[in-house]
Chain A
């Protein structure tokens, strides 16, 4: 067993695990943050996406020991208690989720996409940016709408702040 230390959603957390433990299982089972999901075994569906040191990663394809020392944001830590991040709010407003299983990964992906390409997103670039996330319920139509709306909303917010 190896000790893994992470800063998760702003809090220092640590736990013991086998070296073969995946980051997603460490987050779900050791830290009790079950919002991050596992939907495939081949690094494709994106239900497990979290942010590691500020970038979106697939937590099902990283060992917890590999991540030790890093800063992790999961869906639970995206907004303050009881609040919604603008991307979460846009998913609700535009019905960008149905069963909710892919949703945490989709939202974390959308936030990363807006962080990288915010203000320049188009339907085409949003669809390309969702290449690593599979949703079986929505046909992506409303997810794309929600991300474009959140991008516009956040761009307005950035302008107002300047």
Chain B
């Protein structure tokens, strides 16, 4: 391990600008002549638009124009789409309703965009937006997925009768039913996975700039994947051809999935810039963020888990209804299917699994991937079921898990995934030891003496990351490939730029990617710059989500580095009159192994650009590009333990300790990995104890600000105890599995298992608010 190479705890190169207020986020951007946008949005959950009258609004002070959906449609701007095709079990394709960037005749959720006002100031834009008169015919609404499937429910899209988008299945239904019929014990449980709002602290923003002279568009936007944004805006929304559209995602203040998607506002601001002749900036406020950022989760599932007489799981049957909101967002169809049901084997050898998933339209904001995306839903379902089964079977939760762990690899699950490596018991043991599991009984006695109820719970999670082998996801319906690209550009003086299609919005790529290069070449980390987030600079990329930047993005850098090194070795061998095979790269030098002959790295770089003395036929320059397409998913796994103390008078839960033992494969920078786990756990605690999106029956969002949506704050959380077990991933060159989502995946069931243990009552839904816990305690006795 070098001081700056792989495995080193290097402080972040990017920190200084963030710490001194020099970060540059989209809303910080100003360009000459820039004006401000405000969107007119539906106040109703479901309504027909009879008429839009913007006459008064257009006459307001400072107003440049008010534009609506008919104008957008007339200009040929296309509808928003879902990029992953799912077929129902009867073979029919998913039923995608039309999503106009600006609603034309119908609005389907509160917040649905109807018109854009462009004005000299944001205040004037908002003043004018209030003066746009819209004649609505209100329609009946439905906000819950189960209710939306009921006969007679309001019909949301003509394309999807009964609001059913698809009815999909995976696994062997017959085998599962037989195993359940023959089981020694069947645990049955209903699982609710609460709806969440991602809430990156930077609200979405976009700045659209149309250049008349060049007929060219520039889009600054809060995106996790600017190239995907350009591709989709160009290919599907007809904004502009790719060569006429530059997308820049500068510093981005967190994403957690919600900034993957291409939202209406980005398209509309670009179009409005052309229509009005001025650059148009829009910045969401927090209430708009709650109303319009894609939400996460929102599943209702019925589960049956069958056991034989030895407590071995023989089958798992799952029936899930997933709420996708009013429109199908970009990857919405993949989340409750291939990112969810394929993980239902968990860490366990389950011979037969069947899952049925129905997805449903409702009058709520679209639901898509949020940190973990499908895998938290699978883990919560499985780990709550395992805990419940252990209680029913009278065995310890650890013993039931040990009995069922997968222990040999590779392991083919009945639900597509092929696990390549892991040691689940190692994480379980590490977590139990760190949590002093065996000392719990004594601690519970102490708590009881204080009048408190104490509980402990565990969760053993697995996830699939490193998304994803392109051919595999293509065969499953994905509209894009999920490779990554990299370019390593060595300058003539030996400094290095790495251009990557991954995008950092908090993950620290400017440091970890540089560590990889510094370690390989032995050059100082300061001599390496990471370039990302600009389609004019980086050739192509698929962006950052699904814990893919290390496993996929860095693997592409490895491939490009391999090529750079090979060429550098050829040059060095030529300069030193040695054999290419004998050249090694160490400490910033290219050496002839076994001799004292060497040339410094910068000299090789310089030689490649002066081109005075290169091997015969070699092109000048030292710059290489690579695309890396993974051969498999990666499978981070681990065990989390939560210990809670509950105040029975108020129902308040205090997390007295939280232990995470994770296997992420090889680790580039432990400091950054720990940070990712901390943040993930905090979001998991949020889901388990605090956060819940609630709509009323009319589709009004009740939790539209931090006054009503409970975000985890510093005093809601403990410090966390972490450890890492490492089984390197065999499918990528760095042995990385990915760490971005684990915390959010593993933590909710550990907490609910702990709370239900404390209160002696298993019927508790997330979030376990003080009121719900108190109510459960009233019925427990």
Contacts and interface: CB of A to CB of B under 8 A. Distances in A.
Give 9 nearest A-B pairs by CB, closest first.
A35-B21, A100-B18, A101-B253, A139-B682, A99-B506, A139-B678, A98-B506, A75-B21, A130-B714
Interface in A28-53: 28-29, 33-42, 44-45, 47
B286 A107 contact: no
A141 B720 contact: yes
A109 to B, nearest CB: 10
Contact of B714 (A33, A74, A126): A126
A36 B505 contact: no
Contacts of A3: none
Interface stretch (B199-207, B306-314, B321-329, B758-766): B199-207
Contacts of A36: 21
A74 B713 contact: no
B714 A100 contact: no
A92 B672 CA distance: 12
Interface string A123-153: 1001110110111111111111100000000
Contact of B681 (A20, A97, A133, A139): A139
Contact of B253 (A20, A42, A99, A138): A99
A74 B21 contact: yes
Nearest to A34: B28
Contacts of B707: 42, 44
A76 B671 contact: no
Interface majority SS (helix, strand, loop, mixed), chain A: loop
B714 A103 contact: no
Interface string B19-40: 1111111011010000000000
Q: Which of B20, B25, B252 has the most CB of A within 10 A?
A: B20
Contact of A136 (B17, B254, B286): B254
Counting chain A residues whose Cβ lies within 8 A of the other chain, the interface size class is 35 or more
A74 to B, nearest CB: 7
A56 to B, nearest CB: 15
Given A136-B711, A140-B717, A141-B720, A39 B21 contact: no
Contacts, number: 182
A101 B705 contact: no
B201 A136 contact: yes
A135 B28 CA distance: 20
Nearest to B683: A136
Contacts of B178: none
B16 interface: yes
B21 A99 contact: no
Contacts of B672: 95
B11 interface: yes
Contact of A18 (B25, B123, B252, B717): B123
With most chain B CB atoms within 10 A of its CB, the pick from A33, A44, A99, A104 is A99
A103 to B, nearest CB: 5
15 contacts: A37-B253, A45-B201, A75-B19, A78-B20, A98-B679, A100-B18, A100-B23, A102-B201, A127-B714, A134-B706, A138-B678, A139-B680, A139-B681, A139-B683, A139-B712
Interface string B665-681: 00000011011001111
Contacts of A140: 678, 682, 713-714, 717
Q: Give the residue among A33, A79, A107, A135 with the most B Cβ atoms within 10 A.
A: A135
B20 A35 contact: yes
A93 interface: yes
Contact of A134 (B23, B711, B743): B711
Interface string B339-372: 0000000000000000000000000000000000
A26 interface: no
A91 B681 contact: no
Contacts of B18: 97, 99-100, 103
Contacts of A93: 11
A33 B24 CA distance: 11
A55 B339 CA distance: 48
A88 interface: yes
B101 to A, nearest CB: 24
B714 A39 contact: no
Interface of B: 11-12, 14-25, 27-28, 30, 121, 123, 199-203, 251-254, 256, 283, 285-287, 505-508, 671-672, 674-675, 678-683, 705-707, 711-715, 717, 719-720, 743
Contacts of A141: 678, 717, 719-720
Contacts of B674: 95, 142
A84 interface: yes
Contact of B20 (A38, A88, A99): A88
A79 B19 CA distance: 10
Nearest to A74: B21
Contacts of A145: 719
Given A41-B285, A144-B719, 15 more contacts: A35-B21, A37-B202, A39-B202, A40-B285, A75-B20, A88-B20, A95-B675, A100-B18, A100-B251, A101-B254, A102-B201, A107-B19, A134-B201, A136-B199, A137-B506
Contacts of A74: 21
Contacts of B743: 139
Contact of A101 (B202, B283, B678, B680): B202
A158 B276 CA distance: 58
B685 to A, nearest CB: 8
A92 B16 contact: yes
B254 A98 contact: yes
Contacts of A76: 20-22
A10 to B, nearest CB: 15
B671 A95 contact: yes
A100 B719 contact: no
A141 to B, nearest CB: 4
A19 B714 CA distance: 35
A59 B543 CA distance: 34
A93 B713 CA distance: 22
Nearest to B202: A101
B201 A135 contact: yes
B252 A139 contact: no
A131 B683 contact: no
Contacts of B717: 127, 139-141
Contacts of A38: 27, 203, 283, 285
B706 A101 contact: no
Nearest to B18: A100
Contacts of A139: 678-683, 712, 717, 720, 743
